[in-house]
Amino acid sequence: MQKIDGKITAAKIKEEIAAKIQEMVAAGGRRPNLVGLLVGHDGGSESYMMMKTRACEQCGIRSSLIRMEPDVTQEELISKINELNRDNDVDGFIVQLPLPKHIDEQAVVEAIDYRKDVDGFHPINVGRLAIGLPCFKPATPSGVLMLLEHYCIETRGKHCVILGRSNIVGKPLANMLVQKAYPGNCTVTVCHSATPNINEMTRQADILIAAMGSPGFVTEDMVKEGAVVIDVGTTRVPDATRERGWRLCGDVDFATVSPHCSFITPVPGGVGPMTIVSLLHNTLLAATGEVYKK
């Protein structure tokens, strides 16, 4: 069993991104510029945003955070988005989700210029991803593919079973892994809450990706000997032994499942660190115009 180290992989890719940016700047180019829009004061969102801006600094990407109060109106938020859409100094921006209940998230996502949508959430990017056209790919699925690639894991002809059909992980992952590419060329099955006999499905997986947000759901009886197991779950569970009162828990019962795997990602330290790297990568692509011509 080999443990997939997301921290080390993320650090290496960050170095590569930093080197490219240094080259761009040395050649007289401008630094990529990422803006984050944060509505409200949710603890999780705050810390994600801080991690994103810190990672930008480490790579030489300019970044700034625009904060809005939780009672901001949808019109005010969309007006700010329109400003960022028009600002030629901004290469990409993200609106941290979830948003307060009175705001229609889909309307907000659709207000973002798809050419600056480095989260890959706009329907144009989602549609282009599905048919294999250049686009911004969402961060978590991209992070999973980067790990498969970094560890030279064979995907061609493999049966990949994905647990969870969310718009930001399960569905885009299925679309990416079915493409005629590496990583890809998989036979993909997506399981969800209405799938009967999930265990029978998961036992057929050469590559099992758990992305449902259900701590410890995948147990050893659900995994084929030698499978590659990727755990996307990051649920905060109460833990009185930790100073902060919680710990991150994956969807896979690591202790019992890992001895049966060829490769497995831990939580934390697996997919998590990769998601930010994917965002940095998209920001670089947005700045260079490699996805959409500037």
Active site residues: 52, 96, 119
* Shortest Cβ 216–ligand GUN spacing (Å): 21
Nearer to ligand GUN, 105 or 220 (CB): 105
Smallest separation, CB 259 to ligand GUN (Å): 31
Given the complex with ligand GUN, which of 96 and 258 has the nearer CB atom? 96
Picking from 93, 109, 107, 76, the residue whose alpha carbon sits closest to that of residue 36 is: 93
Token output for 39: 């509505």
Contacting positions for ligand GUN (CB under 6 A): 94-97, 119, 139
Shortest Å, Cβ 282 to ligand GUN: 11
Give the nearer residue to ligand GUN in terms of CB position, either 53 or 96.
Answer: 96
Q: How far is the CB of 69 from ligand GUN (least distance, A)?
A: 18
Nearer to ligand GUN, 51 or 97 (CB): 97
